[in-house]
Amino acid sequence: GEKNGVDYFFVSEPEFRALIAEGAFLEYAVYQNHFYGTSRAAVDEPTAEGYDLILEVEMQGAEQLQVRLPDAVRVFIEPPSLDVLETRLRDRRTETEEVLRGRLQRAQEELAYAKQCHHRIVNDSVDKAVDALLRIIREARRERG
């Protein structure tokens, strides 16, 4: 149901590879045989105007951002437990068992990565998680001056 130019910008794999070669992405990754990335322009333009951005990326992208944007504040949002995550994924009924197992395995790897982030938020309640993220943003703004 996602729409090109609204939710994401969709390009073919050859186009994506060409954009990588051009250095058009601030970060990119391949996940579940799909290419994902954040264009430099999508970040540079609003940040130059003074906007704060929240990028939702997985580990490969986060590691690239850590190098390319060393002053960025890294926040890891995690489920209350792997069991809760599994229940949430199963309740969606959007993935095959094989894909679900892969996502749960990946989640374990990502939890190990969380130690490299500045902050961790347990998403046991959307409202509490949003409040925690807003506190982190306000704190980062104060520190930047």
Q: pLDDT tens digit string along 69-113?
A: 998 999 999 999 999 988 998 999 888 899 889 889 988 988 988
Each residue's pLDDT tens digit, 33-71: 889 999 999 899 999 998 999 999 888 888 899 999 998
Query: What integer pLDDT is reported at residue 17 of this predicted model?
Result: 95
- The answer for residues whose C-beta is within 8 angstroms of residue 94's C-beta and 6 or more apart is none
What is the model's pLDDT at position 81? 92
Hey, what amino acid is at 51? Y
CB 100 within 8 A of CB 58: no
d(CA 101, CA 135): 34
pLDDT at 8: 84
What pLDDT was estimated at residue 30? 86
Q: Which helix (H) or strand (E) holds 25?
A: strand 25-31
Would the pTM count as exceeding 0.75? yes
How would you class 25 by CB atoms within 10 Å of its CB: exposed for 0-12, middle for 13-18, buried for 19 or more? buried
Which band of pLDDT confidence, cut at 50, 70 and 90, is reported for residue 3?
Answer: confident
Mention every residue, 6+ apart, whose C-beta is less than 8 A from residue 55.
Answer: 27, 38, 43, 61, 65
Q: How far apart are CA 84 and CA 128, in angstroms?
A: 17
pLDDT value at position 101?
92
Q: Judging by beta carbons within 10 Å of its beta carbon (0-12, 13-18, 19+), is residue 24 exposed, middle or buried? A: middle
Quick one: average pLDDT of 122-144?
Answer: 95
Q: Is 61 exposed, middle or buried (0-12, 13-18, 19+ CB in 10 A)?
A: buried
User: Residue 119 — very low, low, confident or very high, per pLDDT cuts 50/70/90?
Assistant: very high
